Chain A
Amino acid sequence: MKAPLTRAARIRSGVIAVVTLLVAYEAMARTSDAFSYAFVPLEQLLGALVEISRSGELLDNIAASLKVVLQGVAFGGGAGLLIGAAMAYSKPIAAFVNPLFNAWRPIPTLGLIPLIGLWFGNGDTAKLVLVCLAAAEPMILNTYEGLRGTDQRYIEGGRALTFSRSQLFWFVQLPAAMPSIFTGVQHALGFAWIATIGAELLFTVGPGLGGVMERAQIATRMDIVIVSVAAIGVVGLAINTTVTRVSAHLLRWRDSQ
């Protein structure tokens, strides 16, 4: 088997590919006016980025979107954590919740938008409800599976130390489930981010990156739409990186994996 490429060689290949793509893109943009509608020239894209950064529009709306994400993860994810923990703590609760949970899971979250719209209107409440639902699902699943999947040897060790059921839960099962719960938080943030963008696009146009994009679409400002798409990707990546770093730091007591 051939040895993997060195870091320098990888970076070189990546840079060449990106530059080639940008040059091809710019060439397409300059072909004709019809093309420059879809392939907005790079200079104009940069101009749009500067425009909405200077006016504060970009950062204000990123902040507005992130606020919805964090609220959704706090409420929806928090509820999911409690439900998942209750299910792991008591088998009757798990047996009771499971059929309902399994009936809810296959429904695409964004497909709930018309229903939530009828119940909660088209404003901020509806957005928050949708984002809470998106965040709750992975938290329930990962909390439950993490707590339930505790290594049997640890539980027997705890029993040998005559731990009570709640001691077993707090001192054995919960620490053992932390990696899985962090995976839940990571998924919850990811799902909440997608749901937030979807809600901002499909409910009434308001603040948030989705709103910026929707307004730009109506005004046929392709440059701002493209800048918003890029911003959505960058913020998503930033959220993901932050969670990975934080969980790696908080779980550093684990055996290295």
Chain B
Amino acid sequence: MSAVIEPRFGAPRWRAFAIAISGPLIVVSLWWALASSGRFAEQIIVPPREIWAALVELLDSGELWLHLQGSFGRLASGFALGSAAGLAAGILMAASRHIEAACAPIFNAVRQVPAIAFIPMLILIFGIGETFKILIVAKAAFFAIALATFEGVRNISFRELEVAQLFKLGPIACVRHVIVPAALPDLLTGIRLGLGRAWGVLVAAELFAADIGIGQMMEAGRQMFRLDVVFLGVIVTGLVGYVFDHGLQRLQAVLTPWRAELQR
């Protein structure tokens, strides 16, 4: 499951470290050499120090924070909306065979369509304001969370519930000690998946139309041929994606340690 690839080495650690660090070093020095050779225009290859300068410039003016704030605000409202709906749908579908059977065709049909394909339709209905971006994020979150909740609640075995009955657990204790621990690993995986997708599709939606946001920053940079700003935007979106993914991995390790051990 874990996507991070960590090879084990027979060789001494320093050698492994040297090889690992050589890749990024070669890329950066090649980049630096090409940029300073003067053969390419600054719109094609921008020297690393220009990106640093752009970072300092955007930090000093406070612009970068404004863009990040704009994006995170949309992400938060869209994700809250989508995951609340997804949680409810997932629980309902897991609880009742009839609801599950009735929803399945529509649920699976809409799930087939990538979130980005809904953008033109939502722009036609809601215009290019905030609504379409929030709804796109909600769509991406909804299906990841609904599926994960469904799986998580569904997989609670009859035996576990029987044991709970045997111990005469009340309904609250049953939820607390049986249902939540059983469904939590799937739910956390769903949140991780949904947050990653939501972030990607939000950046894309901001490329379409936005007054502010990290995607808008990149789109404006592209139109003004500011490669440094565009490159900085790519690095920032990557960092945000990384922080989300690893933050949730950590959370998974803390909240569901039994699962983390099983995966080893």
Nearest-neighbor residue (CB-CB) of A105 within chain B:
B3
B116 contacts A201, C-beta separation under 8 Å: yes
Contact A111–B204 (Cβ < 8 Å): yes
Q: Which of B97, B112, B196, B208 contacts A237 (CB 8 A)?
A: B112
Which residues of chain B are near A59, meaning CB under 8 Å? none
How does the 8 Å CB contact mask read for B1-42 relative to A, with 1 for contact and 0 for none?
Answer: 001111101010000100111111001000000000000000
User: Is the CB of A123 closer than 8 A to any CB of chain B?
Assistant: no
B124 touches A225 (CB 8 A): yes
With A99-B20, A106-B245 as given contacts, are A201 and B119 in contact (CB-CB < 8 Å)? yes
Which residues 125-159 in B have Cβ within 8 Å of A in the complex? 125, 158
Residues of chain A within 8 A (CB-CB) of B27 are 100
Please name all residues of chain A whose beta carbon is closer than 8 Å to the beta carbon of B231 when the two chains form the complex: 115
Q: Which residues of A, 91-130, contact B by the 8 Å Cβ criterion?
A: 91-92, 94-115, 117-119
Contact of A114 among B105, B124, B218, B239 (CB under 8 A): B218
Please name the residue on chain A nearest to B240 by beta carbon: A106
Interface residue? B104 (CB, 8 A): yes
Contacting pair B116 A111 (CB below 8 A): no
Contacts of B121 in A (CB 8 A): 217, 222, 225-226, 229
Say yes or no for A27: interface residue by CB 8 A criterion.
Answer: no
By beta carbon, the residue of chain A nearest B6 is: A98
Q: How far is the CA of A1 from the CA of B106 in the complex (A)?
A: 26
A194 and B116 form a contact (CB under 8 A): yes
Q: Is the CB of B101 within 8 A of A5?
A: yes
Residue B233 at the A interface, CB < 8 A? yes
- The stretch of B60-68, B174-182, B219-227 in contact with A is B219-227
Tell me the total A-B contact number using a CB cutoff of 8 A.
178
Task: Determine whether the beta carbon of A217 is less than 8 Å from that of B104.
Answer: no
- Total interface residues on B, CB under 8 Å, equals 65
User: Shortest CB–CB separation between residue B51 and chain A, in angstroms?
Assistant: 12
The verdict on B166 contacting chain A, using a C-beta distance below 8 Å, is no
Q: When A102-B5, A108-B200 are in contact, do A13 and B98 touch as well, CB less than 8 Å? A: yes
Q: Looking at the assembled complex, report how far the CB atom of B5 sits from the nearest CB atom of chain A, in whole angstroms.
A: 5
B238 interface contact, C-beta 8 A: yes
A113 and B203 CA atoms in complex are apart in Å by: 10
Secondary structure dominating the interface of A? helix
| CA A25 to CA B159, docked complex, whole Å | 43
Q: CB of A54 within 8 A of chain B?
A: no
- Is A108's CB under 8 angstroms from B204's CB? yes
A91-B9 Cα distance, complex, nearest whole Å: 8
A153 to B194, CA, bound (A): 37
A118 and B109 contact, Cβ closer than 8 Å, known pairs A91-B7, A216-B120 = no
B239 to chain A, nearest CB (A): 8
A115 → B minimal CB distance (Å): 5
The answer to the question of A161 belonging to the interface, with a C-beta cut-off of 8 Å to chain B, is no
Task: List, in ascending order, chain A residues with CB within 8 A of B230's CB.
Answer: 114-115, 118
User: A14 contacts which of B22, B44, B102 (Cβ < 8 Å)?
Assistant: B102
Chain B residues lying within 8 Å of A214, measured Cβ to Cβ, are 120
Partner of A197, one of B5, B117, B196, B219: B117
Interface contact A98-B7, CB-CB below 8 Å:
yes
B84-130 CB contacts (< 8 Å) to partner A: 97-98, 101-106, 109-110, 112-114, 116-121, 123-125
Instruction: Give B185-219 as 1s and 0s: 1 = Cβ < 8 Å from A's Cβ atoms.
Output: 00000000000100111011001100000010011
Partner of B20, one of A1, A98, A107, A202: A98
Q: Are B120 and A201 closer than 8 Å at their CB atoms?
A: yes
Contacts of B237 in A (CB 8 A): 107-108, 111
A99 to B124: give the CA distance in the assembly, Å. Answer: 42
Q: Which of A96, A109, A236 contacts B19 (CB 8 A)?
A: A96
Task: With A197-B116, A233-B113 as known contacts, state yes or no: A14 contacts B204, CB within 8 Å.
Answer: no
Interface residue A182 (Cβ < 8 Å from any Cβ of B): no
Q: How far is the CB of B135 from chain A (nearest CB, A)?
A: 13
Collect the chain A residues with CB atoms within 8 Å of residue B109's CB: 233
Q: Does B241 contact A (CB under 8 A)?
A: yes
Nearest 5 Cβ contacts at the A-B interface: A108-B200, A106-B241, A107-B238, A110-B204, A13-B101
Q: B residues touching A (Cβ–Cβ < 8 Å)? A: 3-7, 9, 11, 16, 19-24, 27, 43-44, 97-98, 101-106, 109-110, 112-114, 116-121, 123-125, 158, 196, 199-201, 203-204, 207-208, 215, 218-219, 221-222, 225, 227, 230-231, 233-234, 237-239, 241-242, 245
